[in-house]
Amino acid sequence: MTNREEMMSEPTVPNGFRLDGKGNLTALANIKTTDLIKDEFVTKCLSLAKKQQESLANFKRLQMKEVDSFIELLALEHDVELGGKKGNITLRSFDHKLKVTIQNQERIELGPELIVAKQLIDECLDEWTDGGNVNIRTIVANVFNTDKAGMVNPQRILGLRRYEIIDESGKWERAMDCIAESVDVVDSQRFIRFYEMDNKGIEKAISLDIAKL
């Protein structure tokens, strides 16, 4: 075993001792009874929480598998070959009182093409606001504001592409093309959510978040 592996391995704790938060050995006789009871309670809680987490993860995998099997069966019935990732769907019970939704959420990053897009947009703004109203410059500038980590919000920037702006110079269209080219899908995650209609006809989510129960 290397020195690095020895440093990363769990230290051996002799009988009658416990490790404190700083990694120091402390004799059980020198630990307050309340601290020992608290330690036992927290350890037990975390053990149960991890088992529950694993159970929920298995539940999600099984439900996703069931949904995918249903979609494949539906595609087979209509003689359609599915390709790529399955999109967002909603499934309802026959009486419409129960609902299951599947959503795909992609995490994206914007590449260096964004620098070119920002330059073209700035040139457009210089032309449009020359001697005129500068409010539009402020609005667009806010789109490119960064957070504390120095990162821009991709959704705000992609939202610029929804505007139907006619620019004779073609710079705005080129900027939008650059933004589209800058998009890089880092990863994606699938979510499954459950809803039930109460006796008043109000649809409510069935929460699996322990903090909301």
Residue 47's identity, in one-letter code, is S
pLDDT for the residue 1: 45
- List, edge to edge, every strand of the sheet that includes 183-197: 89-92, 98-110, 183-197, 203-205
pTM of the model: 0.63
Band of pLDDT at residue 6, cut at 50, 70 and 90: very low
Question: Is pLDDT larger for residue 190 or for residue 10?
Answer: 190
pLDDT for the residue 152: 85
pLDDT at 5 over 70: no
Q: In a 3-state reduction of DSSP, which class is residue 173? A: helix
pLDDT at 109 over 90: no
CA dist., res. 172 & res. 174, Å (int): 5
CA dist., res. 131 & res. 111, Å (int): 33
Mean pLDDT in residue range 4-32: 82
Helix axes 113-128, 171-182, angle to 10 degrees: 160
Band of pLDDT at residue 58, cut at 50, 70 and 90: very high
Percent residues over pLDDT 90 in the chain:
50
